[in-house]
Chain A
Amino acid sequence: MMVENIVTVIAIFSLSVGALGVLFGALGLLRLGDVYQRMHGAGIIDTGGAGLILFGLLLASPDWTVSVRLVLIGLLLGLTSPTATHAIARAAHFAGVKPLLKTSPDTPIEKGAEE
């Protein structure tokens, strides 16, 4: 009984922090200034948010078959989303998208190449 309570509390904590991580990652995806900076927000969604939410669901799963599927989804997301982000960064780099650069604190931020 006591162990079940502790597991439930850890599951609720993971779900809440994962929901916060997803929210902040999406906020970064909307608010940051550049493709390369926005990848940071997308990475927070893919690792922090998805990992913690899937871990919380794993602790709350009623059956071992459900747990196996959750672990499979977590492994798949952990393999594919860094690969996809890397592919997007490489494609953007070779398409000539310049990152935002700020060489010294006095100079204004140089605008990157549009399209």
Chain B
Amino acid sequence: MSLWFSITLVAIGASLLLALARAALGPTAFDRVLAVNSIGTLAVLAICVYGFFDGRPEFLDIALLYALINFIGTICVLKYFRAGTLGDHVPPEKQQDAQ
């Protein structure tokens, strides 16, 4: 069984390299965001499989936390691209323009 865990780990590592190449190459910013989101998913999978490979499944807690942070980070980056701010501070001159 340990052999199959290590084979899966190698496949996930190769996929991480491919996604990293897309994050470095990607012509638009959205390619990079998509690649970084995939890297996050692959990192969650790699943490899970490594926990089983090492016989310490407590690593799954870290993977759970990483899945949460990955989603929130992607949404934050997209909102920042779109609005230029994370929504907490609107300059006074822009408020007057809106009115």
> Hey, which bits of chain A sit against chain B, CB under 8 A?
8, 11-12, 15-16, 18-20, 22-23, 25-27, 29-30, 35, 38-39, 41-42, 45-46, 49-50, 53-54, 56-57, 60-63, 66, 69-70, 72-73, 76-77, 80-81, 83-85, 87-88, 91-92, 94-95, 97, 114-115
Q: Can you list 10 residue pairs at the A/B interface with Cβ under 8 Å?
A: A15-B4, A26-B18, A27-B18, A29-B18, A50-B45, A61-B57, A88-B34, A97-B30, A115-B27, A115-B29
Q: Is the interface of A mostly helix, strand, loop or mixed?
A: helix
* A66 cross-chain contacts in B, Cβ below 8 A: 57, 60
Q: How many A-B residue pairs have CB under 8 A?
A: 150
From 63 to 96 in chain B, residues with beta carbon under 8 angstroms from any chain A beta carbon are 63-64, 67-68, 70-71, 74-75, 78, 81-82
Q: When A61-B57, A83-B71 are in contact, do A45 and B64 touch as well, CB less than 8 Å? A: no
Q: When A16-B4, A26-B18, A95-B81 are in contact, do A42 and B48 touch as well, CB less than 8 Å? A: no
Asked whether B22 lies within 8 Å of A38 as measured between CB atoms, the reply is yes
